[in-house]
Chains A and B, each alone.
Chain A
Amino acid sequence: MAQTTVVEPYTGPTPKELARKHGLSTAGRLPSLPEYTRLLWSYRHFIWEFAGAKVSASLGNTRLGMIWQVLTPLFNAGVYYMIFGVLLNTKHGTDNFIAYLCAGVFIFGYTQTVVQTGVQAISGNLGLIRALHFPRASLPISITLVEARNMIASMSVLIVIMLVTGEPITWQWLLIIPALLLQTIFNAGAAMLVSRLGSKLHDLRQLIPFIMRVWLYGSAVLYPVTQYTQHLHGWKLAVIEANPILVYIELIRHALMENVKLAGSPVLLWTEAAIWALVVGIGGYAYFWRGEKGYGRG
């Protein structure tokens, strides 16, 4: 820089020493994981507000507004009732197939929408990321919160379907709360995982629909889980029965319905559900945190 015209020639300590002397930190330093977690906790109000803002922004220009939160799962259930209940009259050896189907569709839909929107959590909010300073994990977590809120509406619809189709209310119904909590942790981890992947690999967005479709057919959503035991053996069966979404769907069906054939014993299912939530939740969080400083680069 030959043309630099410095007012007073600089003869002090080196920039690094000067920075340390006055307690300046590197712009864009990666905080430690506990530090990051504390920071994220202090931004909880922002996360909550951002989730609310997302919902109002997406439904704000519709006439019915928030009613769509309930209408969407209702229409979903209605479509499946039309096709499987009225047109095809599918039973698959299950007493209450419509309720069985709806439980699967709603639980699968929860993870599906989180993954689909999560993959764009970073790349779709670059403007915000390049303008303001907040822990980036707020974005995928907000997305999970938005869907968790929608899930409450879906669950109320599901409970009505259960009652209408003649399932008795038992104390077991309370089990949907821990099951949904575990699924939410799993979803948050998955959202963080795909949002970091999606911020680097923009092509991932094009692949997600196919991945989700394979996952759908492997999660016993549209047919009973007994189909797998009849047709698959060995490692293929083991892989499909360890599928996290299948586990979460089975837990909900087990909680809400009588006489359903499960993929495994309830104890096994609960253990699998907890392990999946912990592994994906913590793993996804740590993976996302490692990339924290690079998200602004695009």
Chain B
Amino acid sequence: MADTEKIPTVIADNAHIIYRIHGSIGPNQSSPLSSFKRLVTRQKSTAVREVHAVKGASFVAYKGEAIGLIGTNGSGKSTLLRAIAGLLPVERGGAIYAAGQPSLLGVNAALMNDLSGERNVTLGCLAMGMTPAQVKEQVDDIIEFSGINERGDFSSLPMRTYSSGMSARLRFAIAAAKKHDVLLIDEALATGDAKFRKRSEQRVRDLRAEAGTVFLVSHSEQSIRDTCERSIWLEGGVIKADGSTEDVMKEYETFVKK
């Protein structure tokens, strides 16, 4: 990577992200009477709660970089990825700019559980904007890469019959089938077995070589150390550190051990 001409692919400029959660009924509104009282007294419903997940994140990511996002559970890592992908809007503050259309792939990515793995591959590829011809070409490769057929013909079985590792592998395989300017990976590598992890790490390196930028959220220090040379540490929605993986990891570890 030449230092002279670094091309930015993702720029976050003081981004605040808030999302709303419906349906968390609190202890004081379990009866119709209390709900009515809440309406009359114009109290704000606790059934709709706002979560201020990211509080002013700023960074610049460049072409060819693989960036690890670390932080304790609930620190806003996944939310930040969703905002980069444009799936969650930036509430206030600045904005997030990105090259092309960043693609998020995560363990939460819900495909349709009642459908076979093969049909999910088709659906997922079409949802990423591929043409039917491209999809047809790639289906076999994707299933092959995911390795779900290693134990018999699983690709024609509904996805609800898959183990969590298998469905995570399939999701990763689908998202990695397309060339992305920016690829966002959420914990996806952690669920596969050792053999698949190796293969997927290789794929992440390939994707980087094709001059994309990769963001990786993981709790596995090893996979971040192996794939990323830069890391961003998020804590409580605030960026605590941003720098080389070695330095950031050291800081993070002392924080966690406290």
Contacts and interface: CB of A to CB of B under 8 A. Distances in A.
A120 to B, nearest CB: 13
A85 B39 CA distance: 48
A29 B95 CA distance: 10
Contact of B238 (A1, A134, A293): A1
Given A60-B158, A127-B108, A27 B102 contact: yes
Contact of A131 (B18, B21, B109, B242): B109
Which residue among B9, B18, B243 has the maximum number of chain A CB atoms within 10 Å of its CB?
A: B243
Contact of B21 (A4, A56, A60, A298): A298
B210 interface: no
Given A45-B132, A127-B110, A297 B19 contact: yes
Interface string A6-42: 1100100011101100111111110000000000001
B97 A296 contact: no
Nearest to B113: A57
B124 interface: yes
B108 A15 contact: no
A223 interface: no
A6 B23 CA distance: 41
Interface string B1-38: 00000011111110000111111000000000000000
A128 B114 contact: no
A141 to B, nearest CB: 14
Contacts of B158: 60
Contact of B123 (A10, A50, A129, A133): A50
Contacts of B241: 3-5
Interface in B111-134: 111-112, 114-115, 119, 122-124, 126-129, 131-132
Interface in B155-205: 158
A294 interface: yes
Given A24-B11, A46-B123, A298-B22, A53 B112 contact: yes
Contacts of B236: none
Interface string A169-191: 00000000000000000000000
B60 A15 contact: yes
A130 B186 CA distance: 12
B242 A4 contact: yes
B83 interface: yes
Report the interface size class on chain A.
Answer: 35 or more
B21 to A, nearest CB: 7
Given A57-B112, A296-B88, A297-B89, A19 B126 contact: no
Contacts of A129: 87
A49 to B, nearest CB: 5
Nearest to B122: A49
B148 to A, nearest CB: 18
A49 B90 contact: no
Given A24-B97, A24-B99, A53-B123, A130 B112 contact: no
B181 to A, nearest CB: 10
Given A5-B242, A15-B13, A43-B126, A24 B85 contact: no
Contacts of A53: 112, 115, 119, 123
B131 A18 contact: no
B103 A298 contact: no
Contacts of B110: 127-128, 131
Nearest to A56: B115
Interface in A101-132: 127-132
Interface string A126-153: 0111111110000000000000000000
13 contacts: A19-B11, A27-B85, A27-B96, A28-B89, A29-B86, A60-B115, A128-B111, A131-B87, A132-B109, A133-B86, A134-B129, A297-B88, A298-B22
Given A1-B58, A6-B243, A25-B98, 20 more contacts: A1-B238, A1-B240, A5-B241, A5-B242, A7-B244, A16-B94, A18-B11, A24-B11, A46-B126, A46-B127, A56-B114, A58-B114, A127-B110, A130-B87, A131-B108, A132-B127, A132-B128, A133-B129, A134-B127, A298-B22
Interface of B: 7-13, 18-23, 56, 58, 60, 82-90, 94-99, 101-106, 108-112, 114-115, 119, 122-124, 126-129, 131-132, 158, 238-244, 247-248, 251
Interface of A: 1, 3-7, 10, 14-16, 18-19, 22-29, 42-43, 45-46, 49-50, 53, 56-58, 60-61, 127-134, 202, 293-294, 296-298
